[in-house]
Structure 1
């Protein structure tokens, strides 16, 4: 049986600034990665998003970032492993408290933006993030790029891991995501996205921008909640996956 978790980044609105359409996307996903205030999100947004996820039966995860509210967490900022550990502990702790206030618990942690991409290739940074998770709650699941340093660090520390794949991003021959600054980084055609996802789920392989294929393990699929028509895309890809016999369920 093919099984896949659908996760989406949420709760990234801040003050009067609105990002994404979380309530419209929630019915179609099984896990939510909720911003913790360092790149987006504020206390009220965190509470409302957590409560909505719990209401929809969606697993609640923390979405920690580099301290970069102005740059939405997408700019690389060099942190020492200790600095990264401290930032992640604080963000996990904050969202865990919000979840507890709403009668829920944290299920997983998925780093955001530049922190995610840096940890995918930097073993020391990946270890710091995973140690922060273990020290706060060793039951938390690491969501990380399939085959990356983050996955290896989580496994080394005895944490459960969920290897993440992307249907709307192209891949490089080393298994990394194509940088957004390069042509072809984003896959905007829904049918092309579905073909890529099915290949990863059913064959364990993904075509790269260089024309080769690399092996991947697909435990969870990222759906970007801030893209245009996110709710419609999430609805379509879930329906199409289920029609192909893929069971959608939390890791």
Structure 2
């Protein structure tokens, strides 16, 4: 089996409010997508999470979103492609400052929530995100939904891209994620999540909610750090992959 990355959305605490188990989860992953303050996180949380990732030798990525603290970045917003370009540049820059100050390296960008979902199917938004990443640092990787408009835009512009799949989400027939508004959007059983990931990695397929098999490419697997069972999911998945001889490593790092 080829190398595989395990990524997790992190740094989503805010002020006095703690979300996720970042310190415990960090030892099981190879990439951390750190919130940049627009959907979650703040300057202190960003700094602590960057330090934690460096301590565990985990690849650091910016996790930009729509400016939607109240909705956790999961509400649709009608922004122009130029505005999306600007907000992505702004958030990458904010995290880059903390990474640079800590002596680390920023390695990737992964859009969050509804920004991710809309850019996965809307070419102008996808192109704006790719343009923003290239403008800040063309050596960065873009983590994007497998087979989406974002992966196509990145490949067209020569930006390194990691096709992302999800361990704890279900899929639609067209390869997009099932909307969270639907009751079957999430997988709650770690064993089912592991089974889904192994099927995607081994066979390049995922079973959609209608039962149809959908082709998919898995370079990096996402675990949502804010999930109730995130630690259980990532520990089970990490163990299962290691037992099957999978090399867990972030994209762009020496094998």
Q: TM-score range by the shorter chain?
A: over 0.9
- 1:93-108 aligned within 5 A: 93-108=93-108
Do the aligned residues in 1 keep the contact of 2:119 with 2:150 (CA within 8 Å)?
yes
C-alpha RMSD of matched pairs (Å): 0.8
Q: How many residues align?
A: 251
Deviations 1:148-200 (A, max 9, x none): 00101111111000000011111111000111111211111111111110110
The equivalent residue for 2:249 is 249
CA distance in 1: counterparts of 2:41 and 2:80, whole angstroms: 24
The equivalent residue for 2:209 is 209
What SS does the aligned partner of 2:4 have?
strand
What SS does the aligned partner of 1:184 have?
coil
Unaligned runs of 5+ in 2: none
Unaligned runs of 5+ in 1: none
Q: CA deviation at 1:2?
A: 2.7
The equivalent residue for 1:77 is 77
Do the aligned residues in 1 keep the contact of 2:193 with 2:233 (CA within 8 Å)?
no
The equivalent residue for 2:146 is 146
Do the aligned residues in 2 keep the contact of 1:172 with 1:178 (CA within 8 Å)?
yes
Do the aligned residues in 2 keep the contact of 1:61 with 1:109 (CA within 8 Å)?
yes
CA distance in 2: counterparts of 1:2 and 1:109, whole angstroms: 22
Structure 1 length-normalised TM: 0.98
The equivalent residue for 1:239 is 239
Q: CA deviation at 1:54?
A: 0.6
The equivalent residue for 1:111 is 111
CA distance in 1: counterparts of 2:41 and 2:180, whole angstroms: 23
Do the aligned residues in 2 keep the contact of 1:2 with 1:245 (CA within 8 Å)?
no
Q: CA deviation at 1:77?
A: 0.4
Do the aligned residues in 1 keep the contact of 2:188 with 2:229 (CA within 8 Å)?
no
Q: CA deviation at 1:233?
A: 2.0
Q: CA deviation at 1:16?
A: 1.0
What SS does the aligned partner of 1:90 have?
helix
Do the aligned residues in 1 keep the contact of 2:194 with 2:236 (CA within 8 Å)?
no
The equivalent residue for 1:166 is 166
Q: CA deviation at 1:18?
A: 1.1
User: Which stretch of structure 1 is more off in the superposition, 225-234 or 24-33?
Assistant: 225-234
- 1:1-251 aligned within 5 A: 1-251=1-251
CA distance in 2: counterparts of 1:183 and 1:231, whole angstroms: 22
